[in-house]
Amino acid sequence: MALALIGRALPNPKTAPVQKEQTPMKNSERSFGDRLTRAREMQNVISKFDPPFDPAVPALQPANFATYLDLVEARNTLVANAGPAATAAIVLHASLMATIKSRTIRVTDYVSSNEAWDQFLPGVKQAANKVRNYSPSANKKETPAKPGEPPAKPKAKTGQQSYGDIDHWFEKLIEAVKLVPNYKPGPGSNIDLVQLTALLADYRQANKDVASTGAALDSGQRSRKTSYDGPDSLRTRMKATKKAVGAQYGRDSAEYAAVKGIAL
C-alpha cells in the first residue's frame, strides 16, 4: 500500500531498520516541548493513512488527537508565561526588601543624630534592629512520624509567607517614627513618612504578587504534568495509538513502521 506522509514515503517494513522505543524522557522544560513535537509528528502521520485510521477509542482518532495536542500546547504556553511573571515578582520582592533595610538604617541614623529625640530612639531602634537583621528562616528537615503516631503537620516553606515578619517590623518602625516630633528629613532622603508608608505599601503588594504568580505557576505546572504523565496523558495516548495502528494495519505494515519508532 503506497502512502505519502509529510513529503516522504512510508518506510518499507521489510527493509526499514528496526527502531527501539526510547525510555520516557525526564520532565524538563525542553523535554515537554520535544515530546509535544513527537506527538504532533505521530498525529500528522496517522491522519494520512489510507484507508483512514479508525481506532476503537474515539480520543485516538486523528482529529480528536489534534484537539488534545492543542490543549497540551496551551498548557505549555501558560507555564511559559507564568514562569517569567513569578520570577519577576520574586526579584522585585527581594529588591524592595533590600530597600527597606537600607532606609531603615538611614531612619535610625537620622533620629539618633538629634539628642532631643533620645527618648524616641529606643522604639525606633527596636523595630529597626528587627528589620535590619531579619532573614527568612531556613526550612528544617521534617522528622518522620514514629509508627502509630499521626504524621507531623507540614512546616511553612521559606518564601512569600516567611517575609511577613519584616513587613510587621517595618510597620512598627513607621509607627515609632510618627511619635518623633518635627521628623522632617531633608529633600532627596527618601525616608520621610510619606515615602516610608509608600514603600511599605509597595512591599505588601509585592508580597501578594509573589503569592499569586507563584500559585499560578504551580497550578500551571501541575496541570501540564497531567498532560504528559499518568492516565489519559500524552504518553498514554501515543502508546495506545501505536497498539491501535498495529491492530488495524498489522505489525508488519508500513503504517505500523511509521509510528513504531516515534519515542514516547
Nearest-10 crossing angle of helices 62-112, 29-46: 160
Average pLDDT over residues 181-200: 94
96 and 202 in contact (C-beta within 8 Å)? yes
Cα–chain-centroid distance for residue 245? 36
Lowest mean pLDDT among 32-36, 48-52, 158-162: 158-162
Nearest-angstrom CA–CA distance, 37 and 238: 12
DSSP code at position 183: -
Confidence of residue 5 (pLDDT cuts 50, 70, 90): very low
Confidence of residue 157 (pLDDT cuts 50, 70, 90): very low
State the CB neighbour count (10 A cutoff) for residue 179: 12
State the CB neighbour count (10 A cutoff) for residue 164: 12
Nearest-angstrom CA–CA distance, 133 and 173: 14
Amino acid at 187: P
Per-residue pLDDT for 137 more than 80?
no
Cα–chain-centroid distance for residue 72? 16
Nearest-10 crossing angle of helices 234-249, 62-112: 170
Average pLDDT over residues 50-56: 96
Q: What is the mean pLDDT of the chain?
A: 83
Nearest-angstrom CA–CA distance, 79 and 102: 35
- Whole-prediction pTM value? 0.69
Say how many CA atoms lie within 13 Å of 243 toward its Cβ: 9
- 207-220 residues labelled b (16+ CB within 10 A) or e (exposed): bebbeebbebbeeb
Lowest mean pLDDT among 23-27, 60-64, 188-192, 247-251: 23-27
Backbone dihedral region of 155: left (phi > 0), alpha (psi from -120 to 50 degrees) or beta?
beta
Cα–Cα distances (Å) from 246 to 6, 13, 46, 65, in that order, read 21, 12, 12, 17
Residues 62-120 have pLDDT tens digits of 999 999 999 999 999 999 999 999 999 999 999 999 999 999 999 999 999 999 999 99
H helix intervals, 113-192: 121-132, 164-178
Higher pLDDT, 138 or 76: 76
